[in-house]
């Protein structure tokens, strides 16, 4: 599937969070959502990105944002990741990659000359009305939360 773009309705989904609870994107209607996709729990770059959202989470919430991370990892992996890094936001387990594929993010990747299929790192900001306000194709993991705010034209997180 092609990746949804700014101005498109965000594809809805229902999946389980780190606790095994069913969560739908539509549950967040009326709130602005930072929906970030990442390849794998507890890998260096994914950890840096998650911790950046953690460190700025309260500020993002004061600005009206909810943060949701999605990867193909299972609930148990998400729970370990959250516990190890004290992440205060929801992580969605997309074990069958239905959400990743719906967002067009199951892609061919190449690392050290090896080609394989994996999840693209990408961030979507979804407005209160469920429409995509922003798509960040080239996420800077160390400053992911500030990157969202800068591209939306908002002030610093803290």
User: What is the distance, to the nearest Å, from the Cα of residue 131 to the centroid of all Cα atoms in its chain?
Assistant: 16
**Does the active-site annotation cover 51?**
no
Q: In CATH, what is the architecture of 14-147?
A: 3-Layer(aba) Sandwich (3.40)
d(CA 70, CA 89): 11
On the question of pLDDT at 64 being above 60, the answer is yes
d(CA 101, CA 120): 10
Question: What is residue 39's predicted lDDT score, i.e. its pLDDT?
Answer: 97
Say which of 23, 46, 91, 132 is annotated catalytic: 46
d(CA 77, CA 55): 21
d(CA 23, CA 100): 15
125 CB-side CA count, 13 A = 20
d(CA 11, CA 54): 25
- Sketch the domain layout of the chain as residue ranges: 14-147
pLDDT digits 0-9 by tens, 106-149: 999 988 999 999 999 999 999 999 999 999 999 999 999 999 99
């Amino acid at each position: 599937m092609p990746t949804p773009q700014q101005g498109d309705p965000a594809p809805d989904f229902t999946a389980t969070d780190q606790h095994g609870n069913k969560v739908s994107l539509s549950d967040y209607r009326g709130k602005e959502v930072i929906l970030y996709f990442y390849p794998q729990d507890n890998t260096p770059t994914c950890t840096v990105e998650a911790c950046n959202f953690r460190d700025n989470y309260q500020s993002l919430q004061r600005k009206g944002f909810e943060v949701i991370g999605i990867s193909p990892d299972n609930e148990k992996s998400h729970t370990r990741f959250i516990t190890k890094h004290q992440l205060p936001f929801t992580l969605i387990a997309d074990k069958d990659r239905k959400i990743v594929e719906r967002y067009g993010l199951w892609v061919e990747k190449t690392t050290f000359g090896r080609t394989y299929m994996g999840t693209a790192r990408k961030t979507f900001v979804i407005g209160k009305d469920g429409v995509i306000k922003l798509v960040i194709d080239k996420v800077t993991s160390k400053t992911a939360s500030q990157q969202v705010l800068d591209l939306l034209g908002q002030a610093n997180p803290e």
